[in-house]
Amino acid sequence: MVERKYVDVNVFVYWLSGSGKLLEKAKKWIKAIEDGARGEFLTSALTIYELIIIIAGLTGKTLKDTEFIKDVLEALLGLSKLRIVPLSKEVFRTASEAMTRFSLDFEDAIHYATAIKHGATKIISNDRDFEKTDIQRIF
C-alpha cells in the first residue's frame, strides 16, 4: 500500500516563485511527486485557486490574464502523478471542527480536512500550524 502525502500550496508557490533554500526544498518535493507512485501525493482543488492568487500577487498579474492562468495551470496540472481532489461538504464540516480543535485558520483547516478525508498520513508544508494537528508535517 502506498503512503499518501498531502502537498500544501506553499510547496508549489516556492517551486514557481521561490529562491534559495525554499526553492531547493520545493524542487526536491516536485521531483518526488514526479518520481512517485500514482496517488502517493495529493492536494486540494483549493490549492489551484490559492496558487494562482498568490503567484498573481507576487508577479503583478491579474486573474484576467489568460496566458498567466494557463502557465500556472500547465505547471501544476503537468504533474501527472499528483492527485487533485475536490472540495466537499464533508471537508468543509471537518475543516470547521478542525479550526476549533487545532486553532487553525479556515484555509489551513480545509487543507487538513482534505488530507484526512483522503487518507494522507503526512502533510508537506513549511507551515508550522500543522504541527498542532494529528497529521505529521514534513518539509
Q: Residue 22: CB partners within 8 Å, gap ≥ 6?
A: 14, 126
Average pLDDT, the chain: 95
pLDDT for residue 20: 81
User: Binning pLDDT at 50, 70 and 90, where does residue 39 land?
Assistant: confident
pLDDT at 38 exceeding the cut of 90: no
pTM here is 0.94
State the DSSP H helix or E strand holding residue 35, giving kind and residue range, or none if neither: helix 20-35
Mean pLDDT of 4-29: 93
Name the residue ranges covered by the structural domains of the chain: 4-138
**CATH 3.40.980.10 for the 4-138 domain, yes or no:** no
Provide the residue type at 136 as one letter: Q
